[in-house]
Structure 1
Amino acid sequence: MSEHYNVTEQDQSKRIDKLLSDVIADASRSQIQGWLKDDVVLVGGKAVKSNYKVQAGETITWRVPEPEPMDILPEDIDLDIVYEDQDVIVVNKPSGMVIHPAAGHYSGTLVNALLYHVKDLSGINGVERPGIVHRIDKDTSGLLMVAKNDLAHKSLAEQLSKKTVERKYEAIVHGEIPHEYGTIDAPIGRDPKDRQRMAVVEDGREAVTHFRVLRHFDAFTLVECTLETGRTHQIRVHMRYIDHPLAGDPKYGPRKTLDLEGQALHAKSLGFEHPRTGEWKKFEVEAPQEFTDTLRYLETREG
């Protein structure tokens, strides 16, 4: 499936490999340089080199090469399936589970479990990510929608693109936020100092997070975050940006934090239009035990 990006005034004169490494969150700059070398990436239908400087108004197209087929085996792993019909599955993913196989994680993933429990999944994202429309991080728990056929996949992906999917998260963050509501509108791209991380950068992609305070604790705050966009690590990066990083976050948080197995982030609510019936579907799940135990610890510490 071919994809494209229209170069904006803000992108003017950027190197094409640098621009695409920010636009395509799953691809590294070296990967993109390989695609450019193999003429997978075209500008106005023509091949260009990695150091090509883009011009506003140009259209960049690319077709991600098919991955080397991996022998992804179905695995009998317990899944908390919140909803399922002929088109969609909604899963409550546990913290610690990787979404799809990749280097270092060839088994025990959500995809391995889905292949065991479900006969058919959409093939749009290839053999490594069947049915996967969007993702949540390994150590983030909560709701995820999965497409069982291409009709559902296209509909759900379009809803994500149009920002009509409702996604709400609960997070425990460092510090006491002085106001009850806020909106973080700050573009996100790869951190120029560390390509393994994302950061708020001037030439990043649009990213908007709304939050409201649910409860104050001594040196911590429980917040509800609503995603308007869905950039990689968006909530984690945005909360760090306003100096309230997530508790337990090994990548974006402080070393001195709560004793957690990863960031205190839970995808608690998910709403979307059913791809076949058009009916609005909304689901909510309680945070996992570790999250609620942490809240209880913060309560008792105050007492």
Structure 2
Amino acid sequence: MGDRRSLPVPDGLEGERLDAALARLFGFSRTRAAELITSGEVLLDGSVPAKSDRVHAGAWLDVTIPPPPAAPMPVAEPAPGMTIIYEDDDIVVVSKPIGVAAHPTVGWTGPTVLGGLLATGHRVATSGAAERQGIVHRLDANTTGAMVVAKSEHAYSRLKRAFKERTVDKRYHALVQGHMDPLRGTIDAPIDRHPSGDGRFAVVAGGKESVTHYDTVEAFRAASLLDIKLETGRTHQIRVHLSALRHPCVGDFLYGADPTLAARLGVARQWLHAASLAFEHPATGEWMSFTSDYPADLAHALEIVNAES
């Protein structure tokens, strides 16, 4: 059963297309609004409208918003290429390969870190939402590198708090187009979903506080290798911040990367790697640091860009 809303069209939306008006009223994407109209979930003055119909102030809208689909439950299935960096009774640190998501989500049918751990007989904490048990932070499906998963309930609560309080040292390496100016600095710009609703994120006024520190490790002719420390952990944060400065990660086509450069370097995804992760062990309090080597595609691209310089 969906959430039913009934309201008059406000004066400020006079003459707008129906799909655009719904998007503005409810914060949907235009695509989502059009889907609701097409599926008969919207009535305009009691009649079934078209998405291109113009609305008039005072006209009555009845909108039924279906509940969001439930995230799929984790299934024990292999995560090809995932390796264990460290494991004890409380935590397991993995090196996540390309094409593996952290946990099941709506629309993702590929392998997951959680499924891969379950498939190899690892126990994970049962705290948190069922589809992401033990997951205390995430990497994008096509971002590789070090990631920690909680095995005990105690570790889950302590690590969740550590990530929230920003006491975890998360270091990434990114190969970006061009040269940063200045060579080192801090990007402090709020992030939220892109207004287009197409799955991208963007620097948006009023978005969530997002802080990225970067330092140039090496500048090549066409690109720069950066060492990045994340203070906050927003979805796509590094990719969004670098793209906003017109220095997207090489191969990051979602955020404006040059396909010609990516093809020359043999990169089919964003050149972004979670190189190291350090935190207080949730049981012993010992400061522990873990590193993850570059996978083959990123290492190969680095060799080419270095040889060209």
The runs of 5 or more residues in structure 2 that have no matched partner are 1-23, 34-66
TM-score, length-scaled by structure 2: 0.73
Q: CA deviation at 1:74?
A: 3.9
The answer to whether residue 183 in structure 2 is matched with residue 176 in structure 1 is no
Decide which moves more: 190-199 or 242-251: 190-199
Match of 1:280 among 276, 282, 287: 287
| Partner-residue secondary structure (3-state), 1:194 | coil
TM-score, length-scaled by structure 1: 0.75
| Partner-residue secondary structure (3-state), 2:131 | coil
Q: CA deviation at 1:107?
A: 4.8
Q: CA deviation at 1:220?
A: 0.8
Match of 1:154 among 150, 154, 157: 157
- Contact 1:78/1:113 (8 A) holds in 2: no
Q: Which residue of 2 aligns with 1:142?
A: 145
Q: Which amino acid aligns with 2:248?
A: P
The runs of 5 or more residues in structure 1 that have no matched partner are 1-14, 22-28, 31-63
Q: Which residue of 1 aligns with 2:269?
A: 262
CA distance in structure 2 between the aligned counterparts of 1:76 and 1:198, rounded to whole angstroms = 27
Q: Which residue of 1 aligns with 2:195?
A: 192
CA distance in structure 2 between the aligned counterparts of 1:234 and 1:83, rounded to whole angstroms = 26
The answer to whether residue 95 in structure 2 is matched with residue 92 in structure 1 is yes
Q: Which residue of 2 aligns with 1:298?
A: 305
CA distance in structure 2 between the aligned counterparts of 1:169 and 1:255, rounded to whole angstroms = 21
User: Structure 1 residues 65, 132: CA separation in 2 closer, same or farther (over 3 Å shift)?
Assistant: farther
| Partner-residue secondary structure (3-state), 1:128 | helix
Task: Pick the structure with greater CA Rg.
Answer: 2
CA distance in structure 1 between the aligned counterparts of 2:304 and 2:72, rounded to whole angstroms = 46
- Contact 1:81/1:92 (8 A) holds in 2: yes
- Contact 1:72/1:106 (8 A) holds in 2: no
The answer to whether residue 108 in structure 2 is matched with residue 101 in structure 1 is no
Decide which moves more: 164-173 or 245-254: 245-254
Q: Which residue of 2 aligns with 1:112?
A: 115
User: Structure 1 residues 178, 78: CA separation in 2 closer, same or farther (over 3 Å shift)?
Assistant: closer
The answer to whether residue 78 in structure 2 is matched with residue 75 in structure 1 is yes
Decide which moves more: 74-83 or 85-94: 74-83
CA distance in structure 1 between the aligned counterparts of 2:230 and 2:127, rounded to whole angstroms = 24
The answer to whether residue 135 in structure 2 is matched with residue 128 in structure 1 is no
